[in-house]
């Protein structure tokens, strides 16, 4: 889960997970949860609990996953208006609008918030995760994700290349360690891998 603070002490919660009450109060001390991004159909499990706790929460989902996500929680939009130019939601090209990402711009630098499209778990994470392609020596587009979500490898390659040409400082992924060093090169390597 990633939380981004917008202007006006509003929060965007990306790929929400269940938290205990002390953790929820700590989160609320940062601002008001205003947007809940369900980044793909597989990350919908805890969305209903968040919407129940915060009925005014705007639920955001990529259009290609909307029907599946609505089996768990009503979706308000696939084109959120954050009223904050520093944060941008996008449906990841090449995924048939089934996977979403956030771009967070701050002081001339970019943080990418990605979901399943990039895995960065260590090799020791286990055989199953290695078999699915989420774990290994370096960040990668997991094999399971390629089969489920990547419909146009050329479009995804182009998006990685576009990101790599920007001042990317870090990449936050849903599965694995944040990528804090050489993010632009990592993106170029991901593009080459497709």
Which pTM value belongs to this model? 0.93
Predicted confidence at residue 133, as pLDDT, reads 78
Dihedrals phi, psi of 30, to nearest 5 degrees = -85, -25
C-beta of residue 176 within 8 angstroms of C-beta of residue 148: no
User: Mean pLDDT, to the nearest integer, of 22-31?
Assistant: 97
pLDDT at residue 31 is higher than 90: yes
- Determine whether 31 is exposed, middle or buried from the number of CB atoms within 10 Å of its CB (0-12, 13-18, 19+): middle
- Residue ranges matching CATH 3.60.15.10 in the chain: 85-194
Residue (of 10, 192, 187, 9) closest to 101 by Cα position: 187
pLDDT of residue 186: 97
Bridge-based pairing of strands 100-106 and 87-91 is: antiparallel
> Quick one: pLDDT band at residue 170, thresholds 50, 70, 90?
very high
Q: What is the pLDDT of residue 37?
A: 98
The architecture in CATH of the region 85-194 reads 4-Layer Sandwich (3.60)
82-141 residue pLDDT tens: 999 999 999 999 999 999 999 999 999 999 999 999 999 888 887 887 777 787 889 999
- Tell how far CA 112 is from the center of its chain: 8
Per residue in 32-83, pLDDT (tens digit) is 999 999 999 999 999 999 999 999 999 999 999 999 999 999 999 999 999 9
Give the per-residue pLDDT at 124. Answer: 81
């Amino acid at each position: 889960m990633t939380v981004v603070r917008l202007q006006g002490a509003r929060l965007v919660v990306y790929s929400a997970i269940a938290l205990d009450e002390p953790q929820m109060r700590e989160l609320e001390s940062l601002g008001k949860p205003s947007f809940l991004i369900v980044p793909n159909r597989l990350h919908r499990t805890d969305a209903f609990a968040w919407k129940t706790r915060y009925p005014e929460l705007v639920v955001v989902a990529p259009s290609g996953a909307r029907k599946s996500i609505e089996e768990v929680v009503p979706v308000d939009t696939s084109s959120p208006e954050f009223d904050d130019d520093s944060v941008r939601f996008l449906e990841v090209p090449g995924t048939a609008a089934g996977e979403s990402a956030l771009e967070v711009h701050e002081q001339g630098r970019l943080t990418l918030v990605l979901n399943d499209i990039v895995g960065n778990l260590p090799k020791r994470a286990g055989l199953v995760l290695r078999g699915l392609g989420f774990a290994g020596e370096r960040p990668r587009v997991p094999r399971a994700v390629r089969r489920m979500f990547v419909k146009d490898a050329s479009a995804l390659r182009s998006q990685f290349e576009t990101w790599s040409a920007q001042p990317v400082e870090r990449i936050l992924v849903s599965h694995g360690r944040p990528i804090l060093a050489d993010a632009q090169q990592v993106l170029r390597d991901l593009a080459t891998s497709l």
